[in-house]
């Protein structure tokens, strides 16, 4: 069951927005606010029980909430306008979101509108709340469209919601679709229109989604595995084992000093310098270089005949 943040259940507990934009709970004695269920018709039946307010009633309730913090007054203002949220939410059905989710976001926008509403300006609440309701629904759609952020600036959000509308209008007028004309109409660059069109055309899909229902074959199964197969991995491991054994056997053909020089100069992660080895043995750098060259020649003579072709 879907629920709103602003609810009153059997305990008559209700959430409201305080001056710091923090949702807090309190207890109310007014009739319970409707819970959004999985059936839109049932929800509509619930909210239609709340009667519309006259201008005078709306001003009185708004002033009570604004001046005295009367939550029961805010409760009545919200309930009387829930049906308008449903109407606005239906305008966004083409984006593929669940209508009940859109209604839920719109109701949060309505709550914020009640919090900010100033009845002394002579404007009806719903006229003011429309902006808040649409803003929350728009943000929800943009957030939910893709795991990758699709509209991070106001210009991108405007393009997201106006692109299809403008494209359809131009198609009706000209019979075709011109990216340049769309960009001029929306006051953006051609490449921005093309990029947004690509993003909107491709929705996220789960890799566990069955391609054909009941066949237990998913998108994951259709992805190529770039890893080496087990036979190749085993072959490489065996080659490394043989080569390591051959090098170890070849090193045994050297005397202790040659073996140490080869180890310290070639096989170590951090090779030692000729001078460091010369200091250890009390001989010149040139003599160490000669010993290294002779040792490598011996190793080459042992390993070359068994090297792979």
Q: Where are the domains of the chain?
A: 13-145, 154-201, 230-306
Return the closest-CA partner of residue 30 out of 68, 80, 67, 66. Answer: 80
- Which residues neighbour 272 within 8 Å (Cβ) at sequence distance 6 or greater? 264, 265
Overall pTM surpassing 0.85 (yes/no): no
Look at domain 13-145 and name its CATH class: mainly alpha
Which candidate, 252, 256, 262, 247, places its Cα nearest to that of 296? 262
Taking residue 135's Cβ as centre, other Cβ atoms within 10 Å add up to 16
Q: Looking at domain 230-306, does it have CATH number 1.10.10.10?
A: yes
pLDDT tens for each residue of the chain, 309 residues long? 233 333 333 333 344 444 444 344 444 344 455 554 557 888 888 888 899 999 999 999 999 999 998 999 999 999 999 999 999 999 888 877 888 899 999 999 999 999 999 998 989 999 999 999 998 998 888 777 755 555 556 666 666 666 666 666 666 666 666 677 777 767 777 777 666 666 665 555 666 767 677 677 777 777 777 777 788 888 888 888 888 888 888 888 888 888 888 888 888 888 889 898 888 888 998 998 998 898 888 888 877 665 554
């Amino acid at each position: 069951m879907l629920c709103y943040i602003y609810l009153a259940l059997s305990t008559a507990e209700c959430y409201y927005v305080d001056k710091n934009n923090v949702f807090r709970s309190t207890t109310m004695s007014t009739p319970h606010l409707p819970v959004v269920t999985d059936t839109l018709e049932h929800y509509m039946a619930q909210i239609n029980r709340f009667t519309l307010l006259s201008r005078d009633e709306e001003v009185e309730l708004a002033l009570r909430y604004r001046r005295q913090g009367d939550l029961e007054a805010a409760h009545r203002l919200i309930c009387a306008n829930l049906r308008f949220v449903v109407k606005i939410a239906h305008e966004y059905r083409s984006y593929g979101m669940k209508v009940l989710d859109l209604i839920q976001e719109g109701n949060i926008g309505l709550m914020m509108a009640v919090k900010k509403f100033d009845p002394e300006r002579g404007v009806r609440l719903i006229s003011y709340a429309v902006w808040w309701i649409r803003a929350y629904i728009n943000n929800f759609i943009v957030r939910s469209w893709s795991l990758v952020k699709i509209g991070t600036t106001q210009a991108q959000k405007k393009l997201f919601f106006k692109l299809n509308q403008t494209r359809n209008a131009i198609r009706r007028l000209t019979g075709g679709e011109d990216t340049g004309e769309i960009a001029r109409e929306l006051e953006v660059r051609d490449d921005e229109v093309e990029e947004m069109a690509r993003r909107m055309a491709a929705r996220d899909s789960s890799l566990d989604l069955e391609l054909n229902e009941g066949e237990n074959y998913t998108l994951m199964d259709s992805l190529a595995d770039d890893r080496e197969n087990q036979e190749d991995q085993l072959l490489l491991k065996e080659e490394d084992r043989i080569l390591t054994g051959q090098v170890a056997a070849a090193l045994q053909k050297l005397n202790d000093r040659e073996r140490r020089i080869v180890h310290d100069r070639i096989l170590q992660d951090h090779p030692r310098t000729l001078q460091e080895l010369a200091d250890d043995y009390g001989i010149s750098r040139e003599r160490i270089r000669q010993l290294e060259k002779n040792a490598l020649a011996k190793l080459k003579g042992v390993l070359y005949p068994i090297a792979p072709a």
